[in-house]
Chains A and B, each alone.
Chain A
Amino acid sequence: MLRDAGGIALTSGAYAVSCGAICTAAGLSLAQTLALSLLMFTGASQFAIAGVIGAGGNPFAGAAVAVLLGARNALYGLRLASLLQVRGARKAVAAQLVIDESTAMAVGRESGRAGRLGFWATGIAIYVLWSLGNLVGALGARFLPDPEVLGMDVAAPAAFLALLAPRMRGRGPWAAAAAAAVTALVAVPLLPAGVPVLLAGLVVAVLALRLPARPPTGGEDPGDRANAGTTAEEGIR
């Protein structure tokens, strides 16, 4: 299991390099990029705030999108709470390590001890390599000339697409995707940059309440991914 944790962490380190580069290309300073990787430590949210700021949007709209994307970690924490049994300072530390990969490596183990080992080993290994990867990406991107000439402005949307792909199982996600795309594009000429994304999130939340009780997604359950052994390709979301 420790080898699995190391392998997943190495893959995350590679994602982290692109995350650091995208943050820098979006105009974030090195300190801001590192603050995101050390303090936020949830990949999709980091890509999101960098993406909105890079596209000229209001930084607080970017922050709101990032926090909403991070909301799924609360569901992971719910599954982990009874397994980890942490209190006080250990709980404060454990909370920061609650991400897709550490949850996937913890749930569905044969024993509680193995689950706890999976959580801590994966969480700590990824935390270290994620931060190093962001540092390398941020420093590397400083040597690039005009990001637009190099097509770097499409790096964030492409990264979002790769994060999105494994979630597109079943009709619910496709309906949500269509509603979000239409809402966001219709809102672009009417609202300040960044806000159309929040509006799309609101529309999807309302839509989610109107869909049948159990949409066949499965994409939100990290246990499925751990069992299928696909964690390496899926990365931090």
Chain B
Amino acid sequence: MIWYAVIAACVGCYLFKLAGLSVPDRILRDGRTRRIAALLPVGLLVALIATQTFSQGNHLTLDARAAGLGAAVIALLFRAPFLVVVAVAVATTALIRLFLS
């Protein structure tokens, strides 16, 4: 099942790339298309962050992951590079779990 999803997603992503090189300008230059394309990644990323930090299955939760995400926000405010941001979040979450367990 995962394989089918992986292949379908790869094909879908490739078709979008190919479409950009292939379709007439006016379709993608359309103002509505551009506005959706500009905001859709923001919405999807925020939704991914929210669900993967504050839920477990079908339950809303508040646990060590929230602290890890908070640490990542602080790292970003200090303009830390990508890997540092991820490492700070992971380490914070792990440490809190260690102390609470």
Report, as a range, how many residues of chain A touch the other chain.
Answer: 35 or more
How many angstroms from the CA of A147 to the CA of B7 in the assembled complex? 25
Count of chain A to chain B residue pairs whose CB atoms are closer than 8 Å in the complex: 325
Contact of B20 among A36, A66, A76 (CB under 8 A): A76
- Are A154 and B53 in touch, CB under 8 angstroms? yes
- In the complex, which residues of chain A have a beta carbon less than 8 angstroms from the beta carbon of B65? 151, 153-154, 157
Q: How far is the CA of A42 from the CA of B88 in the complex (A)?
A: 24
With A44-B41, A75-B20 as known contacts, state yes or no: A157 contacts B69, CB within 8 Å: yes
A48-B73 CB under 8 A given contacts A18-B83, A70-B13, A77-B19: no
Q: Using a CB-CB cutoff of 8 Å, which residues 207-237 of chain A contact chain B? A: 207-209, 211, 213, 215, 217, 219-220, 233, 235, 237
Q: Is the CB of B97 within 8 A of A149?
A: yes
Interface size class on chain B is: 35 or more
- B90 touching A180 by the CB < 8 A rule? no
List the interface of chain A (C-beta within 8 A of B).
14-15, 17-18, 27-28, 32, 35-36, 39-42, 44-45, 48-49, 51-56, 59-60, 62-78, 80-81, 84, 86, 91-92, 94-96, 98, 148-165, 167-168, 172-173, 176-177, 179-181, 183-185, 188-190, 192-193, 196-197, 200-201, 203-205, 207-209, 211, 213, 215, 217, 219-220, 233, 235, 237
B residues contacting A by CB (< 8 A) are 1-10, 12-14, 16-23, 25, 28-29, 31-32, 34-55, 57-60, 64-65, 68-69, 72-73, 76, 81-83, 85-86, 88-95, 97
